[in-house]
Amino acid sequence: MKSKTSFINRGILRNDFKRYTWIGIVYLLGLLLTIPLKLVMLFSRPDGIKMYYTARTYLQVLQLDYFPNLILIIIVPVLTGLLLFRYLQTNTAADMVHALPIKRETLYNTHIAAGLTLLLVPVIITALVSWAVVTGLGIEFIQGKHILSWLGICLLMNLVFFLSTVAVGMFTGLSTLQGLLTYILLLVPAGLSVLVLHSLKMHVYGFPYDLYAAANLDKLSPLLRLPSSVNIPLSTGELIFYILLCIALYLIGRYLYQQRKVESAGDAITFAILRPIFKYCVTFCTMLLLGSYFHETQGNIIWTYCGYLLGAGLGYFLTEILLEKSIDVFHWQRARGLGIYALVIIALVGFLQVDFTGYEKRLPELSQVESVYMDSYFHPLIYHNDNAPFQPYQKLYKDKDNILNIYNLQREIIAHRSEEKGVIIPPWSTNHTRVCLAYQLKDGNCVYRDYIINTAKYKEQLKPIYESREYKVNQYQLLRVNIDDIKLVEINNHYGNKNVSISDKELMRQAVAVLRNDIYGQNYDNMTMTRKPPWADIAITLAWEKNPPPDIGSDVAMISNNNTATSENNYQIYLSWEKSYTHFERWLQSTGLYNQARLLPGEDISYALVDYAPDGIDRATYDDLMGNRLLKEKPGVLKVSDPVQLELCLQNYQDSYTEQAVYMIVFELKNGSSFYGLFPSAEVPGFIKEHFAQ
Amino acid sequence: MIEVERVSKQFQDLEALREVSLAVHKGSVYGLVGSNGAGKTTMLKLLAGIYKPDSGNLMIDSQPVFENEAIKTRCVFIPDILYFFLNYTIQDMADFYANIYPQWNNQRYLKLANVFNIEVKRRIRTLSKGMQRQVALWLGLALMPDVMILDEPLDGLDPVMRQKVKNLIIQDVAEREMTIIISSHNLRELEDICDYIGILHQGKMLIQKDFDDLRADVHKIQVAFSGEIPPALLEQTQTLYHEQRGSVLILIVRGAYSEIISHMQSYNPAVLDILPLTLEEIFIYEMGDNGYEIKNILY
C-alpha cells in the first residue's frame, strides 16, 4: 500500500483540470482579445489614421492600467482561488474531500498547482502570441522588452492575487466573504494608512496630512500598485518584496490549512483567535471611515464624533451578526466589548487631544536648523522626483534671520494652538493663510508641520518674513530669472485692449530692473492687500534650452515648442502691475508708454456710476447686481465723468467682494464694456462721501 | 480493528462527544444508535479522518486515522448528506475515485451496475435522493474497502432497496471480512445486521453490547403458578423487570438460559414460556437499570 506523501496528487490535479479548465480558456480568450487582437486592430487601421500613431498608441495596450487588461488581472486570479478552494467552504464538499486518503498539505499543493497552471499558462501564451503578432506585422514601436515587462508584472500580480485569495480562504469559511476580504486586505494597508493619517490631521494640530497621504500610498497596496506601475515602474526592491510576499502567502495558506478545522466551513472566521481581532479591526476601520467622512462633508467636530460613534456601532454589530450568523446580537452583554473598545478609543483620542507625545508643541532646536521650506502647500516636496527633467521650485529659507522669523511664527502658532485646535477653516477663506513648514535639520532629519492661521492675528510674525528679500525671491519668479533669457515683455489690459510690447533689449532690461525694485520695495500691507486690482497684467516671455533652470522649476507655462533654429523652448511668467509699483509707473511715464499701458479716465473710460451698497449685501447678491449691470443711471445714483474724480475712483476701488462694502461702482468704457467694484469705508474718495452726505 | 479511546470533540460552544470509547472487531458490524444530535455523525466523521479529535485516541489497525493516507485508503465513508461534484455523471465520479484509490475495482463497479441498474451516463445531481444514496454505495463498494463507515445509509431507501443494500454489505463482511460501522436513529433497522450495538446519547456512550451476548443473556419469561407465587422465586435471579397480570408473572431476567429455566422449573410452575425479545426491548430493559427513559432516545 502506498504510504509516502507526495507533493501533489495526480487524481485531484486531473479532477481540478476537468472541472476548471474553462477558467483558463476564458482567461486566455480575454487576454488574447485585449492584447494581441487589439494590436492587430490598431495595425489594420487606414494609413491616414495610422500616421498619427506614436509608440504610445501601441504601448498603451501593453500597459497594466489598460482597463480590460486590468479588470482581467484583478478578477480572474481571485475567482480561480475562490473556485479551487470552494470545497472548503461547503460542509458536504469539505467532508467528502477530507475523507479521501490525501493529506491536507497535498490537497493544498495540488490546488495551488492547478491554479497556477490555469492562470500562468494563458498569460504566457498571450505574451507569445503578442510577440508573434508584433514580429509578424513588424510593429516597431513594441520591443521584446515591453512584452517581457508586461509578462513579468502580469505573472507576479496574478500570483499575488491568487495566493492572497487562497490564504484568506483559510481563515474564512464563506466564499463571498473570502472574495470581499481578499480585495479589502489587498487595499487595507493603503486605506487604513489614509484613515489613520486623516484622523491624526483631525486630532493633532499641525499634522501634515497632505504630505504623508500623497507619499505613494499606492505602494502599500498591490491592487493600487498595479495600475500605478505604468507611471512609476516597480523597483527591484518591490519586485523582491512581491516575490517574498508570494512565498509568505503560500506558506501562511499551507499552515492555516493544516490548522483549520473541516467543520468550520460556513463560519465567517474559521479561527476562534482571529474572531475578536477581526471584529475590532472592522469596528476601528468603519469608525475612522465614517468619522472622516462626516468631518470632510460637514466640517464640524460634533459630526466627526457622531461619525465615530455610528461607525464603531455599525462595524461592531455587523461583524457580530456575521460571526454569529444571527441578527440576535443586540444584547447588553455583547455591547460590553463595544464599551471596552469605546473606553480605549476615548483614552486614545484623549491622549491625542492633550498632546501626549508633545508633538503639537515641539519646535526644532533652532541651532540645528539648516533650512526651512515654507509655502502654502507641500506640493513641491511631494512631487519631487530626481528622475524628472525639471522639478517644482521649493521655497526654501536659509537666511539666519528668516529661519528665526519662521521659528518665531511657529512658536506663536503653537502658543495659540488651543484657540485654533478643532476649528475647521474652509480652504477658500480669504482671512486665513496656510503655512506648510519643513525644517531641514543638520542631522539629516526633517520636521514637518501644516497650519492654517488667521492672517491678521499673526501679522506681527508674518511681516518680517514677507518683507524679507528671500521671501520675495521665493515668491516672484521675476526675481529669479536671468535678464538675458528674457525675450519679450508685454503689458496687457483686457478691459480696454490696451497693450504694450517691449522687445528692445535695453528697454526690457530697464523694465525688469524697475519692476524688481518695486517688488523689493513692497511692504507687508502692499503684499497682502490684494483687493485693489492691478493696473494691468505683465507677461514676460523667456527662452531656455529645452527645460527651465532649476531655480525656476516647473511652474512656468510653455508657450511654444522647440524653436527649430535655436532648439530653445519659450516659456512665460506672469505678474501684475500693482498700484503700489511706483517705480515702474514712473519708468513707463518716462518712456512714454504709460498711456498705452493702462486705462485712462476720459480717454478709455467715459464715466462711472456709484451707488450705496445695500446694507449687509452678500457676495451672491453683489455678483448678481454688478455682473448683470443692474446698476444703472437713475436719480440718486452718482455719475462720475470728471477725469480727476475718475482717477481717484480707479486708484481706490476694490474688485473683490468684501463685507465692509459701502458703495458700489461700475466703470463704463468707451468701447462698450464695463467693469465693477466697490469701496470699503476706509477707501471711499472724499467727493463720493460728500455727494451721498447731502 | 477500530479502537476509540476516550475521544472528545467540541464544536465552538457545543460539546458533541465526551470521552467516548468503542471497539469494533475485524469483520463485524457495529451499529451506532442515537437520537438526532446524539453525536453519531461526529463519531463517524472522526473515524473517517475528517475531524480531528480534541482528545483521546482514535485508531484503525493501531494507527491514528487523522491525516493517515494509508489507513484512509482502506476506509470508505458515506455521509448522511451526500456530495458529488457539480454536473458529474456516475462514470465521472467513478473515474475520480479510480484516480484516487489504488485498489479501485473496476470489475466490481461494472458488476454492481447490474444490481443498481442506473445508467452510468446520468448526472448524479439529477438523480433522486434514494438513487444518489445507491450511487454512493455502489462507488463505495467498488473501492473494496476494509472499513466502511456508513452514516444513516438506509435513510431514504425503499424497503426492497434497503434489503438489497443490507445484503450487499453483509456479503462483503462475510466474503472479505469487511468491517462496518453504521449509524441509525432506528434500532430496529439495525437489528438484523449488527453484531454490536452502541447507544450514544448527548455525546456520551450510554451502553455498548455484543448483540449475541445480549440475546443470550436477557430473557423474557412468562410463568404462572397454580398457587401462590413462591416468594423466593425472584431472589436468586437477576430480574430487570417484572409484571404481574393476574396469576401470570412476566419477567425479564438476565442470566444463562439453562440456569434460569432450571431455576424456574424447580418451583414447579403451571406455565413456563420463553418469549422472544426484540432488540429494542432488550435495550429498554437494560437501560431501565440506568434510569434512562430509553423510549425518548430510541424511536
In this complex, which of B73, B85, B92 lies closest to A1 when CB atoms are compared? B73
Tell me whether residues A11 and B100 touch, CB distance under 8 A: yes
- How far apart CA A87 and CA A175 sit, in angstroms, is 10
Higher model confidence: residue A383 or residue A389?
Answer: A383
| Complex-level ipTM | 0.88
Other C-beta atoms closer than 10 Å to the C-beta of A163 total 24
Contact call for residues A665 and A643 (beta carbons, < 8 A): no
In this complex, which of B50, B52, B96 lies closest to A99 when CB atoms are compared? B50
Task: Give mean pLDDT, residues A486-493.
Answer: 88
What are A63-108's pLDDT values in tens digits? Answer: 888 888 899 999 999 999 999 999 999 999 999 999 999 999 999 9
Q: C-alpha dihedral over A187, A189, A194, A196, to 10 degrees?
A: 130
Tell me whether residues A10 and B99 touch, CB distance under 8 A: yes
- How far apart CA A439 and CA B242 sit, in angstroms, is 100
Tell me whether residues A103 and B67 touch, CB distance under 8 A: yes
Other C-beta atoms closer than 10 Å to the C-beta of A97 total 18
**pLDDT exceeds cutoff 60 at B206:** yes
**Nearest chain A CA: its distance from B269 CA (Å):** 59
What are A195-244's pLDDT values in tens digits? Answer: 899 888 888 888 998 888 877 777 888 988 888 888 778 889 999 999 99
* CATH classification for the domain delimited by B2-202, as one of 3.30.1740.10, 3.30.530.20, 3.40.50.300, 3.30.420.10: 3.40.50.300
Strand order in the sheet with B248-254: B238-245, B248-254, B218-224, B271-275
* Neighbouring residues of A45: CB distance < 8 A, sequence distance ≥ 6: none
Instruction: Please give the residue of chain A at the shortest CA–CA distance from B49.
Output: A99
**Among A124-138, A214-228, A242-256, A275-289, where is mean pLDDT lowest?**
A214-228
Q: Does A3 touch chain B (CB under 8 A)?
A: yes
Contact call for residues B151 and B80 (beta carbons, < 8 A): yes
Q: A538 — alpha (psi -120 to 50), left (phi > 0) or beta? A: beta
Domain locations in chain A as residue ranges: 10-203+215-269, 366-475, 481-597, 605-693
In the numeric block, the cell 487589439 is attached to A38
Tell me whether residues B70 and A95 touch, CB distance under 8 A: no
What are A541-580's pLDDT values in tens digits? Answer: 888 877 777 777 777 777 765 555 566 778 888 888 888 8
Q: Does A9 touch chain B (CB under 8 A)?
A: yes
* Bridge partners, residue A436, by sequence: A375, A450
Burial A294-331 (b: 16+ CB within 10 A, else e): bbeeeeebebbeebbeebbbbbbbebbebbeeeeebee
**Nearest chain A CA: its distance from B100 CA (Å):** 5
pLDDT of the residue at B293: 54
Tell me whether residues A92 and B99 touch, CB distance under 8 A: no
Task: Give mean pLDDT, residues B231-236.
Answer: 76
Q: Does B104 touch chain A (CB under 8 A)?
A: no
Q: How does DSSP assign A30-81, residue by residue?
A: HHHHHTHHHHHHHHTS-HHHHTT--HHHHHGGGSTTSHHHHHHHHHHHHHHH
What are A423-461's pLDDT values in tens digits? Answer: 777 766 777 888 999 999 999 899 999 998 888 889 999
pLDDT interval class at B296 (50, 70, 90): low
Tell me whether residues B73 and A99 touch, CB distance under 8 A: no
- Chain A residues touching residue B85 (CB < 8 angstroms): 15, 19
Tell me whether residues A102 and B69 touch, CB distance under 8 A: yes
* Neighbouring residues of B188: CB distance < 8 A, sequence distance ≥ 6: B278, B279, B280
pLDDT interval class at A693 (50, 70, 90): confident
Domain locations in chain B as residue ranges: 2-202, 213-297
Size of interface A-B (CB pairs under 8 A): 73
Q: Does B45 touch chain A (CB under 8 A)?
A: yes
pLDDT interval class at A387 (50, 70, 90): low
Interface of A with B in 251-280 (CB under 8 A): 261-263, 272
Q: Does A326 touch chain B (CB under 8 A)?
A: no
What are A580-625's pLDDT values in tens digits? Answer: 888 999 998 998 888 888 888 888 888 888 888 877 677 777 777 7
Tell me whether residues B99 and A2 touch, CB distance under 8 A: no
Specify the pairing of strand A432-441 against strand A446-454. antiparallel
**pLDDT exceeds cutoff 90 at B130:** no
pLDDT of the residue at A2: 43
Residue B216 parent element (H or E)? helix B211-217
**Nearest chain B CA: its distance from A39 CA (Å):** 38
What are A624-677's pLDDT values in tens digits? Answer: 777 777 777 777 788 888 888 889 888 888 877 777 778 888 888 888 888 888
Please report, as a single letter, which amino acid is at residue A336. Answer: R
- Chain A residues touching residue B51 (CB < 8 angstroms): 261-263
pLDDT of the residue at B209: 82
Strand, helix or coil for residue A455: coil
Instruction: Please give the residue of chain B at the shortest CA–CA distance from A6.
Output: B69
Longest CA–CA span in chain B (Å) reads 75
Tell me which long-range contacts A426-435 makes (C-beta under 8 A, separation of at least 24).
A426/A299, A430/A656, A431/A455, A431/A456, A433/A376, A433/A458, A433/A462, A434/A376, A434/A377, A435/A374, A435/A376, A435/A409, A435/A410
In this complex, which of A1, A2, A96 lies closest to B83 when CB atoms are compared? A96
Contact call for residues A114 and A162 (beta carbons, < 8 A): no
Q: Does B283 touch chain A (CB under 8 A)?
A: no
Specify the pairing of strand B179-184 against strand B29-33. parallel
What are A496-511's pLDDT values in tens digits? Answer: 778 888 988 889 999 9
Task: Give mean pLDDT, residues B148-166.
Answer: 87
CA distances from B196 to B78, B146, B182 (A): 20, 18, 10
Instruction: Please give the residue of chain B at the shortest CA–CA distance from A271.
Output: B12
What are A147-173's pLDDT values in tens digits? Answer: 999 999 999 999 999 999 999 999 999
- How far apart CA A249 and CA A167 sit, in angstroms, is 6
Contact call for residues A210 and A377 (beta carbons, < 8 A): yes
Longest CA–CA span in chain A (Å) reads 119
**pLDDT exceeds cutoff 90 at A176:** yes
Contact call for residues A105 and A113 (beta carbons, < 8 A): no
- How far apart CA B108 and CA B102 sit, in angstroms, is 14
Tell me whether residues A95 and B99 touch, CB distance under 8 A: no
Strand, helix or coil for residue A629: coil
Instruction: Please give the residue of chain A at the shortest CA–CA distance from B77.
Output: A99
Tell me whether residues A92 and B49 touch, CB distance under 8 A: no
Specify the pairing of strand A536-545 against strand A568-577. antiparallel
- Chain A residues touching residue B74 (CB < 8 angstroms): 1
Specify the pairing of strand B2-11 against strand B55-60. antiparallel
**Nearest chain A CA: its distance from B92 CA (Å):** 9
- How far apart CA A458 and CA B55 sit, in angstroms, is 73
- Chain A residues touching residue B75 (CB < 8 angstroms): 99, 101
pLDDT of the residue at B295: 54
Q: Does A96 touch chain B (CB under 8 A)?
A: yes
Other C-beta atoms closer than 10 Å to the C-beta of A500 total 20
Tell me whether residues A11 and B72 touch, CB distance under 8 A: no
In the numeric block, the cell 449687509 is attached to A616
Tell me whether residues B70 and A19 touch, CB distance under 8 A: no
Q: Can you name the CATH fold of B213-297?
A: Alpha-Beta Plaits (3.30.70)
Strand, helix or coil for residue A200: helix
pLDDT interval class at A4 (50, 70, 90): low
pLDDT interval class at B6 (50, 70, 90): very high
